[in-house]
Amino acid sequence: MDDVKAITFDVGGTLIEPWPSVGHVYEEVASRHGVRIKPEELTRRFAVAWNRKENFSYTKADWAALVDDTFIGLTTILPSQSFFEELYLRFSEPDCWHMYRDVIPTLTTLNERGVRLAVISNWDIRLRPLLEVIGLADWFESIHVSSEIGETKPSLGIFRTAINSIGLPSSQILHVGDSELEDYQGAQAAGMQTRWLCRNGNVSEDYTINSLVSLT
């Protein structure tokens, strides 16, 4: 991390994760509407739907279509016509999210060293209030959300927006995230230093880390 004066962070899978899992939250809401599917199965089906999504812009309509795809064949009435609104609101509540243990210690150390901190995230309008309520928003001088900017990572546009806001040469900014395509490759194309966060411990390249503590 040569000459790094600012670090930008992805959010999902980097700072926080769904808790206890996507499937558990889906099951909690769906069961109140008579749909009872095991959380593990819903987590699996969500992953399948997530991996085959296309042109996902993190709009509410995009999420409704993704949830419908997750539940397809399991209900006679699609979630978008029944419990989607409740589910959408549920994910804006802090108890649906878990902050990784290395987040606060890492942000504290970086802040004490004078490193400027920001967020670059593919998310929707729920992100800013969520970061506020879980106590993360004040750590960052700027928060760049794909749904507000109109471009998603790995597009250069969202990274350039953040770089311009920070006001430093891109080579002095490090981006960290858990997606090799969206975070590592996207930031690299924008001229930033970058690290790919692999929390599963699969650190096989010199640009991969398995904990945010490695940044300190």
Q: How confident is the model at residue 202 (pLDDT cuts 50, 70, 90)?
A: confident
| pLDDT for residue 1 is more than 90 | no
Listed in order, strand segments (DSSP E) in the chain are 6-9, 16-18, 97-99, 116-121, 142-145, 173-177, 193-197, 208-209
The Cα 126–Cα 172 span in angstroms is: 30
Residue 183's pLDDT is what? 98
Average pLDDT over residues 19-44: 97
Average pLDDT over residues 161-179: 98
CA 127 to chain centre: 9
The Cα 212–Cα 48 span in angstroms is: 28
For the stretch 86-143, pLDDT in tens is 999 999 999 999 999 999 999 999 999 999 999 999 999 999 999 999 999 999 999 9
Residue 206's pLDDT is what? 86
Phi, psi (rounded to 5 degrees) for 194: -155, 150
- What are the percentages of helix, strand and coil residues in the chain, rounded to 5? 45, 15, 40
* Structural domains of the chain ordered from first start: 6-17+97-215 (3.40.50.1000), 21-95 (1.10.150)
Average pLDDT over residues 135-152: 97
State the chain's mean pLDDT as an integer.
96
Rounded to two decimals, the pTM is 0.95
The Cα 177–Cα 185 span in angstroms is: 10
121: β partners: 145
Shortest CA distance to 142 belongs to which of 124, 167, 174? 167
